Amino acid sequence: MDYYFSSPFWAQCIETSRNLAIENPEEINYNIQPMFGDLDAIAERGILRILVTHSDTDFFFDHGRIRGIQYEMALEFLKHINEGRTNRYHASEANRIFPQFIPVTFAELLPALQAGHGDIAAALLTVTPERASEVDIVSPQGREVAEIVVSHINAKPIKRTADLSGKSVYVLRGSSYQRHLKILNEKLKIAELPPVEIIEADNQLLTEDILELVNAGVIDYTICDDFKAELWAQVLSGIRLEIPTSEGQSLGWAIRKNSPQLHEALEEFSQKVRKGTFLGNVLFKKYFENTQWIGNPLNQSEREKFNRLLDLFVTYGNRYGFDPLALAAQAYQESRFDQSLKSHRGAVGVMQLLPTTARDPNVDIPDIENLESNIHAGTKYMDFLRNRYFSDDEISPVNQRLFSWAAYNAGPANITRARNAARDAGLDPNVWFGNVENMAAMKISREPVRYVASIYKYYTAYRLVEQQGRRKADALESVLAD
């Protein structure tokens, strides 16, 4: 259903970046190394890492833009803690915390959190004793869920839980659905009835994927949260909603134990999004009562236009040795992919290059009103910046691109000045994050810091989602093959 990432473009981008050996994917996945600590440590590094699952309601892309209830909730939470820090500690704009979204599979949410690859697992996780023993789950008051059976319309109806006896039910591995089916099996055993055959879905699949398999008749039964089932039943005509297997379950976000500052901040925020509040109701209705995100893909002409844009990133990324996904993230930051956009300084279109820069002999592609020339000019200018200013062997390929982004925004002379200041301050002049970016904020402004962080946020999400997309396709093929 996520029509943008069903395009061959994304696989082509990943294949291009792999062939170019641009960077180690592990550097992209989790910002190089695991990190721990409470809210004070998060504030010190300036990045809140938010683990999310890529789904059509939680975290997804709409014409390159990130949307989803977890995305919007996370931004609201950051607004809450940034405002709180400003009021409490007189923190400045330069010290605000920025988000980094890290898409993972459902099965990876809690392990990645505990391993220090994220600070919050932002999903509507049901509170269970097993999870509560491993992590802290902060639950907005009043937001409860029932888990219900969803069947294919031609499967035998389930009128009571005992009707599941002897049936095969596909559920997410490690989910509360699986736990509650195991409890049901204990009851069936007492009643001397055959147990439910609990089939754990591949780690790459989400509940939405299993619902589509039920809709196609590949699977007869699954378990789903009631609000998700009711949403998808509006667009999947082959499914039928049955009885609940559990009710009154609390939902929330997970954090590592022994994080009292973050826990307190989330508890405060949960009051703003609990059931019945304006913000909580608006976001919940937007993604779980409105089917626009899952039932109304772009028309064919708009889709062809978008794919044409993406194909150009592949073409010129390949020519100049840039990951096409990195170019796409940069273009989204610059113009939201809008070729008609003009800045107050006269920068044009998708990658927002000034005509004077495009006419410079180092670029020499003047017709940037044309979409292809515009992307060509922007990519060639990035290539010039990298090769002229940041091609030292001491600078990793990842940092070469980060510095080039910063120079694209603030000018190469300014970034060179920030690198020199970093060296004088005992920081690493060859590393952007946590080093040169600090000097850029002091010597230039916070703008190049925000610019690079925002592009990196989109690039990380684009890349991880595409990697998961390929693994998910393999998982679905495996189910269909069975």
Burial class (CB in 10 A: 0-12, 13-18, 19+), 472: buried
Q: What pLDDT shows up at residue 240? A: 96
Tokens linked to 284: 């919940």
Query: For 327, phi and psi rounded to 5 degrees?
Result: -65, -40
What is the band of 141 on the pLDDT scale with cuts at 50, 70, 90?
Answer: low
Average pLDDT of the residues of the chain? 84
pLDDT band at 30 (very low <50, low <70, confident <90, very high): very low
pLDDT in tens, 321-367: 999 989 998 998 898 888 898 888 899 989 999 999 999 999 999 89
What is the tens place of the pLDDT at every residue in 142-160? 567 899 999 999 999 999 9
- Using DSSP, state whether 356 is helix, strand or coil: helix
- Per-residue pLDDT reduced to its tens digit, 67-113: 899 999 999 999 988 886 554 444 444 567 888 899 888 989 999 99
Is 334 known to be catalytic? yes
pLDDT in tens, 166-178: 999 999 888 899 9
Count of residues making up the chain: 482
Which residue type is seen at 237?
S
The verdict on pTM exceeding 0.85 is: no
d(CA 164, CA 243): 11
Q: What is the pLDDT of residue 110?
A: 94
User: Is residue 11 predicted with pLDDT exceeding 50?
Assistant: no
Tell me the domains of the chain and their CATH numbers. Answer: 19-140+252-298 (3.40.190.10), 144-250 (3.40.190.10), 300-458 (1.10.530.10)
| Confidence category of residue 275, pLDDT binned at 50, 70, 90 | low
Write the DSSP string, 271-307. HHHSTTSHHHHHHHHHHHT-THHHH-PPPHHHHHHHH
Residue 433 CB neighbour total at 10 angstroms: 20
Rounded to whole angstroms, how far apart are CA atoms 126 and 88? 33
Which one from 242, 334, 437, 466 is the annotated catalytic residue? 334
3-state secondary structure of 52: strand
